[in-house]
Amino acid sequence: MTEFFDDPFDTFAAWMAEAKQSEPSDPNAMTLATCTASGRPAARIVLLKEWDRQGFVFYTNLESRRSEEIAANPHVALLFHWKSLLRQIRIEGSVTAVSDAQADAYFAGRPRLSRIGAWASAQSRPLKDRATFEADFAAADARFPGETTPRPPFWSGWRVTPEHFEFWQDREFRLHDRIIFTPTAQGWQSGRLYP
Protein backbone atom coordinates (compact mmCIF):
# COMPACT_ATOMS: atom_id res chain seq x y z
CA MET A 1 0.00 0.00 0.00
CA THR A 2 1.45 3.33 -1.04
CA GLU A 3 1.72 5.83 1.75
CA PHE A 4 1.92 9.54 1.06
CA PHE A 5 2.24 12.07 3.86
CA ASP A 6 1.43 15.78 3.84
CA ASP A 7 5.15 16.51 4.04
CA PRO A 8 7.59 15.40 1.31
CA PHE A 9 10.39 14.71 3.80
CA ASP A 10 8.15 12.35 5.79
CA THR A 11 7.21 10.54 2.57
CA PHE A 12 10.88 10.38 1.54
CA ALA A 13 11.84 8.93 4.94
CA ALA A 14 9.17 6.22 4.73
CA TRP A 15 10.04 5.27 1.16
CA MET A 16 13.79 5.23 1.87
CA ALA A 17 13.21 2.98 4.90
CA GLU A 18 11.29 0.53 2.70
CA ALA A 19 13.97 0.69 0.01
CA LYS A 20 16.64 -0.21 2.56
CA GLN A 21 14.66 -3.38 3.29
CA SER A 22 13.98 -4.39 -0.32
CA GLU A 23 16.79 -3.17 -2.57
CA PRO A 24 19.61 -5.70 -2.96
CA SER A 25 22.34 -3.03 -3.06
CA ASP A 26 22.76 0.73 -2.70
CA PRO A 27 19.21 1.88 -1.90
CA ASN A 28 20.80 5.34 -1.56
CA ALA A 29 21.90 5.36 -5.22
CA MET A 30 20.48 8.32 -7.11
CA THR A 31 20.85 9.72 -10.57
CA LEU A 32 22.31 13.23 -10.50
CA ALA A 33 21.53 15.37 -13.55
CA THR A 34 23.54 18.53 -14.11
CA CYS A 35 23.83 21.02 -16.97
CA THR A 36 26.62 23.16 -18.29
CA ALA A 37 26.14 26.94 -18.36
CA SER A 38 25.00 26.55 -21.98
CA GLY A 39 22.39 23.93 -21.04
CA ARG A 40 24.14 20.73 -22.13
CA PRO A 41 22.92 17.97 -19.75
CA ALA A 42 24.76 15.06 -18.15
CA ALA A 43 23.59 12.38 -15.72
CA ARG A 44 25.34 9.83 -13.56
CA ILE A 45 24.73 7.74 -10.42
CA VAL A 46 26.01 9.06 -7.10
CA LEU A 47 25.28 7.97 -3.53
CA LEU A 48 23.17 9.95 -1.09
CA LYS A 49 25.26 10.11 2.08
CA GLU A 50 23.24 12.42 4.32
CA TRP A 51 19.87 14.12 4.24
CA ASP A 52 17.69 16.26 6.44
CA ARG A 53 15.10 18.99 5.95
CA GLN A 54 17.82 21.29 4.61
CA GLY A 55 18.61 18.98 1.72
CA PHE A 56 20.30 15.94 0.24
CA VAL A 57 24.10 15.58 0.39
CA PHE A 58 26.59 13.73 -1.77
CA TYR A 59 30.39 13.94 -1.82
CA THR A 60 32.76 14.16 -4.75
CA ASN A 61 35.93 15.58 -6.24
CA LEU A 62 35.45 19.34 -6.69
CA GLU A 63 37.44 19.20 -9.95
CA SER A 64 35.17 16.56 -11.48
CA ARG A 65 32.86 17.26 -14.39
CA ARG A 66 29.79 17.20 -12.12
CA SER A 67 31.33 19.79 -9.78
CA GLU A 68 32.40 22.02 -12.66
CA GLU A 69 28.85 21.91 -14.02
CA ILE A 70 27.37 22.66 -10.61
CA ALA A 71 29.69 25.66 -10.27
CA ALA A 72 28.51 26.93 -13.68
CA ASN A 73 24.82 26.12 -13.16
CA PRO A 74 23.82 25.37 -9.55
CA HIS A 75 20.47 23.74 -10.39
CA VAL A 76 20.22 19.95 -10.53
CA ALA A 77 17.77 17.07 -10.55
CA LEU A 78 17.99 13.87 -8.49
CA LEU A 79 16.20 10.62 -9.25
CA PHE A 80 15.82 7.64 -6.94
CA HIS A 81 14.52 4.52 -8.70
CA TRP A 82 13.70 1.44 -6.65
CA LYS A 83 12.78 -1.32 -9.05
CA SER A 84 11.93 -3.77 -6.27
CA LEU A 85 9.25 -1.35 -5.02
CA LEU A 86 8.17 -0.05 -8.45
CA ARG A 87 8.76 3.48 -7.19
CA GLN A 88 10.74 6.55 -8.02
CA ILE A 89 11.29 9.96 -6.46
CA ARG A 90 12.32 13.02 -8.46
CA ILE A 91 13.81 16.01 -6.66
CA GLU A 92 14.78 19.29 -8.31
CA GLY A 93 16.69 22.00 -6.49
CA SER A 94 19.60 24.32 -6.08
CA VAL A 95 23.05 23.30 -4.90
CA THR A 96 25.41 24.73 -2.30
CA ALA A 97 28.67 23.44 -0.84
CA VAL A 98 28.62 21.79 2.56
CA SER A 99 30.80 23.32 5.27
CA ASP A 100 34.42 22.27 5.65
CA ALA A 101 33.57 20.85 9.08
CA GLN A 102 30.80 18.66 7.63
CA ALA A 103 33.04 17.45 4.79
CA ASP A 104 35.89 16.75 7.23
CA ALA A 105 33.59 14.73 9.51
CA TYR A 106 32.23 12.64 6.67
CA PHE A 107 35.67 12.08 5.10
CA ALA A 108 37.15 10.95 8.44
CA GLY A 109 34.47 8.24 8.70
CA ARG A 110 35.24 6.71 5.30
CA PRO A 111 37.31 3.51 5.07
CA ARG A 112 41.03 4.28 4.86
CA LEU A 113 41.43 2.98 1.29
CA SER A 114 38.50 5.13 0.14
CA ARG A 115 40.26 8.15 1.65
CA ILE A 116 43.48 7.19 -0.16
CA GLY A 117 41.49 6.75 -3.38
CA ALA A 118 40.19 10.31 -3.11
CA TRP A 119 43.79 11.57 -3.14
CA ALA A 120 44.78 9.28 -6.02
CA SER A 121 41.94 9.99 -8.43
CA ALA A 122 41.99 12.96 -10.79
CA GLN A 123 38.29 12.29 -11.28
CA SER A 124 36.81 12.83 -14.75
CA ARG A 125 40.18 13.64 -16.33
CA PRO A 126 41.82 11.44 -18.99
CA LEU A 127 43.73 8.39 -17.69
CA LYS A 128 46.46 6.80 -19.81
CA ASP A 129 45.94 3.30 -18.39
CA ARG A 130 44.96 1.43 -15.23
CA ALA A 131 48.61 1.01 -14.21
CA THR A 132 48.98 4.79 -13.95
CA PHE A 133 46.02 4.99 -11.57
CA GLU A 134 47.37 2.09 -9.50
CA ALA A 135 50.76 3.85 -9.27
CA ASP A 136 49.00 7.06 -8.15
CA PHE A 137 47.12 5.06 -5.54
CA ALA A 138 50.33 3.43 -4.27
CA ALA A 139 51.99 6.86 -4.01
CA ALA A 140 49.05 8.27 -2.01
CA ASP A 141 49.07 5.19 0.22
CA ALA A 142 52.78 5.74 0.96
CA ARG A 143 52.22 9.47 1.53
CA PHE A 144 49.56 8.86 4.19
CA PRO A 145 50.52 5.77 6.21
CA GLY A 146 48.41 4.78 9.17
CA GLU A 147 44.83 5.73 9.83
CA THR A 148 45.05 9.54 9.69
CA THR A 149 44.40 10.78 6.18
CA PRO A 150 43.40 14.43 5.77
CA ARG A 151 40.64 15.43 3.40
CA PRO A 152 42.05 16.65 0.07
CA PRO A 153 41.37 20.35 -0.58
CA PHE A 154 39.74 19.34 -3.89
CA TRP A 155 37.21 16.96 -2.28
CA SER A 156 34.01 17.95 -0.51
CA GLY A 157 30.24 17.69 -0.57
CA TRP A 158 27.26 19.30 -2.24
CA ARG A 159 23.84 19.86 -0.68
CA VAL A 160 20.77 19.87 -2.93
CA THR A 161 18.07 22.07 -1.42
CA PRO A 162 14.76 20.80 -2.82
CA GLU A 163 12.42 23.10 -4.69
CA HIS A 164 10.21 20.35 -6.16
CA PHE A 165 9.41 16.72 -5.31
CA GLU A 166 7.58 14.09 -7.32
CA PHE A 167 6.73 10.68 -5.86
CA TRP A 168 5.77 8.06 -8.46
CA GLN A 169 4.21 4.68 -7.65
CA ASP A 170 3.60 2.06 -10.33
CA ARG A 171 0.04 0.83 -10.77
CA GLU A 172 -1.47 -1.82 -13.05
CA PHE A 173 -2.40 -0.78 -16.58
CA ARG A 174 -0.18 2.32 -16.25
CA LEU A 175 -2.66 3.97 -13.87
CA HIS A 176 0.25 5.22 -11.77
CA ASP A 177 0.16 7.54 -8.77
CA ARG A 178 2.12 10.79 -9.16
CA ILE A 179 2.20 13.12 -6.17
CA ILE A 180 4.07 16.43 -6.36
CA PHE A 181 5.15 18.87 -3.65
CA THR A 182 6.01 22.52 -4.24
CA PRO A 183 7.10 25.03 -1.60
CA THR A 184 4.86 27.87 -0.44
CA ALA A 185 5.21 30.52 2.26
CA GLN A 186 3.21 28.22 4.57
CA GLY A 187 5.18 25.04 3.83
CA TRP A 188 4.81 22.38 1.15
CA GLN A 189 1.74 22.15 -1.06
CA SER A 190 0.87 18.77 -2.57
CA GLY A 191 -0.98 17.89 -5.74
CA ARG A 192 -1.43 15.12 -8.25
CA LEU A 193 -0.42 14.66 -11.89
CA TYR A 194 -2.00 12.43 -14.49
CA PRO A 195 0.13 9.32 -15.04
| Digit-coded pLDDT (tens) for 152-189 | 999 999 999 999 999 999 988 988 999 999 999 989 99
pLDDT tops 90 at residue 146: no
Confidence of residue 123 (pLDDT cuts 50, 70, 90): confident
- The residue ranges of every structural domain in the chain are 8-110+156-192
- How much is the pTM? 0.92
Q: What is the DSSP string of the chain?
A: -----SSHHHHHHHHHHHHHHH-SS-TTEEEEEEE-TT--EEEEEEE--EEETTEEEEEEETTSHHHHHHHH--EEEEEEEEGGGTEEEEEEEEEEEPPHHHHHHHHHTS-HHHHHHHHH--TTS--S-HHHHHHHHHHHHHHS-SS--PPPTTEEEEEEEEEEEEEEE--GGG--EEEEEEEETTEEEEEE---
Domain 8-110+156-192, CATH number (from 1.10.10.60, 2.30.110.10, 3.50.50.60, 3.40.50.300)? 2.30.110.10
Instruction: Read off the pLDDT of residues 67-120 as tens digits, 9 standing for 90 and up.
Output: 999 999 999 999 999 998 999 999 999 999 999 999 999 999 999 999 999 999
pLDDT tops 70 at residue 48: yes
Q: What is d(CA 174, CA 83) in angstroms, rounded to the nearest whole number?
A: 15
Contact criterion met (CB below 8 Å) for 60 and 123: yes
Known catalytic membership, residue 178? no
Instruction: Please tell me the predicted confidence (pLDDT) of residue 2.
Output: 59
Angle, CA of 97, 64 and 164, to the nearest 5°: 50
Instruction: Please tell me the predicted confidence (pLDDT) of residue 1.
Output: 46
pLDDT tops 90 at residue 147: no
Instruction: Read off the pLDDT of residues 7-27 as tens digits, 9 standing for 90 and up.
Output: 999 999 999 999 999 988 999
Instruction: Compute the CA torsion angle 20, 26, 30, 32 (nearest 10 deg).
Output: 160
Catalytic member of 53, 87, 159, 174: 174
**Backbone φ, ψ for residue 160 (5° rounding):** -95, 115
Instruction: Please tell me the predicted confidence (pLDDT) of residue 174.
Output: 87
